[in-house]
A and B are shown apart, each in its own frame.
Chain A
Amino acid sequence: MNRNHVTATLCAGAVGLLAAFGSACGSSEDTPAGAKKLSFELTDEGCLPHQAKAPAGPITFEAENTGSSMVTEIEVMDGATILGEKENLSDGLSGSFSLTLDAGEYTIYCPGGDQERSTLMVTGGS
């Protein structure tokens, strides 16, 4: 079996994947102008604050781990559906993602914490 063929196949696959990721990033959720910012702290107790409020519309979620080894992940959920998340945030790391949310009650889910679920109330119409 010729090695060149293998190399070519691997490289083609690699380039294809890079392109796929590039386009995914290009269309990705960059912080929209005028987005409301919500900051969360990942602690052993869970994600703080446990109660958050925001107006309907674009929201940027900023999460920072301030010293927890148990909680390294934050998810925004609507019922059982994960709308956005950030994983592998160990002590000192931070990350953000943006979502556009309608009015309603959402769950901030931080697996591993003492209180894993907290509430996000989104109010009003935009």
Chain B
Amino acid sequence: MIPTFVITLREGVEASLIIGIIAAFLVKEGRRDAMRQMWLGIGVAVALCIGVAVLLEVIGRQLPQKQQEGLETVVGLIAVSAVTYMIVWMRRHARGIKAQLEGDAASALAVGSTMALVGMAFLAVLREGFETSVFLLAAFQEASNTTTAGAGSVLGLLAAIAIGLGLYRGGVRINLTRFFRLTGIVLVFVAAGLLASAAHTAHEAGWINSFQGQALDLSWLVQPGTISGSLLTGMLGLQPTPTVVEVVVYLGYAVPMAAYVLWPQGMRLRPRRVRAGGRIGAAQNPA
């Protein structure tokens, strides 16, 4: 059961993570209305993936792996820019709302940005969806023990969904500034991982063939075939033996972006403000 469990977990957790954050973000921004569009996008993507998998099965063909890797690379890069946009937006926004009262639903997200996020949710599912659907069909039909293989793959997918859901629940509950700060950091690592896995899939698509030497041995951490290993690969884009290209793009993105997110807010821009907003200020004023 474990072998198929870890594969669907790995393939599904990234999309689940992105969708969880997008959903929490939309709710936080008072764009609950966009949730329906997001679910619509996800539904269409899932239907499309299953449709393609069944079609390939019926006509007896295999998923063209090179094209699949190419698709994963392109969508991965789009996802990196979308996530980067979210990080920058949150950073600016978090600074802006410091002066304002929370819950003021400050600057509402522009319609264009909302649609971009909805599109991102769609693409996130599509990215690994084809491969996962093909794999699911195979697990139920061809595996040496179809019952355990099928059950494992379905449970893996459910576990991936549960992680995204948990993130969403947690994200909705905590206050806005902390949400932005925390998700900002999480998103930096997710985006850096996406960039590294885009470099990985670009190699498999035949687009990048240089600097493929092994840079690190992380196989003690990212153990193939284990749950923790597939979570690390799925959520943070870590490979057991990352190549030079993967490490360079990962650090090249993660280091400056983490500094950007963690840099004390408004440090040089303005002198420290009295905390006017929030409950502390409100409680102190009458006294």
Contacts and interface: CB of A to CB of B under 8 A. Distances in A.
What's the dominant secondary structure at chain B's contact region?
Answer: helix
Interface in A22-72: 24-25, 28-30, 67, 69-72
Interface in B175-229: 203-204, 206, 209-210, 212-213, 224-225
A119 interface: no
* Interface hub of A13, A83, A92 (most chain B Cβ within 10 A): A92
A88 B135 contact: yes
Contacts of A121: none
A100 B147 CA distance: 37
B7 A88 contact: yes
Contacts of A72: 3, 7, 225
A92 B7 CA distance: 14
Interface in A8-27: 10-11, 13-14, 17-18, 21, 24-25
A92 B206 contact: no
Contact of B65 (A7, A80, A81, A86): A86
A96 B203 CA distance: 20
Interface residues of B, number: 50
Nearest to B239: A111
Interface in B61-89: 61-62, 64-67
B139 A93 contact: yes
A94 interface: yes
A70 to B, nearest CB: 5
Contacts of B4: 90-91
B131 interface: yes
A21 B44 contact: no
A1 B111 contact: yes
A102 interface: no
A112 B3 CA distance: 13
A121 B3 CA distance: 31
Contact of A14 (B44, B56, B59): B44
B54 interface: no
Contacts of A112: 224-225, 240
Interface string A71-100: 110010001111111111011111111000
B99 interface: no
A84 B138 CA distance: 20
A75 B51 CA distance: 27
Interface string B102-114: 0000000001001
B44 A90 contact: no
A85 B204 contact: yes
Given A18-B51, A92-B142, A95-B62, A6 B203 contact: no
Nearest to B4: A90
A81 B225 contact: no
A74 B102 CA distance: 53
Interface of A: 1, 3, 6-7, 10-11, 13-14, 17-18, 21, 24-25, 28-30, 67, 69-72, 75, 79-88, 90-97, 111-112
Interface of B: 2-4, 6-7, 11, 36-37, 40-41, 44-45, 48, 51-52, 56, 59, 61-62, 64-67, 111, 114-115, 118, 122, 126, 130-131, 135, 138-139, 142-145, 149, 203-204, 206, 209-210, 212-213, 224-225, 240-241
Closest 7 CB pairs of A and B: A92-B144, A112-B224, A92-B143, A80-B212, A69-B3, A69-B225, A90-B3
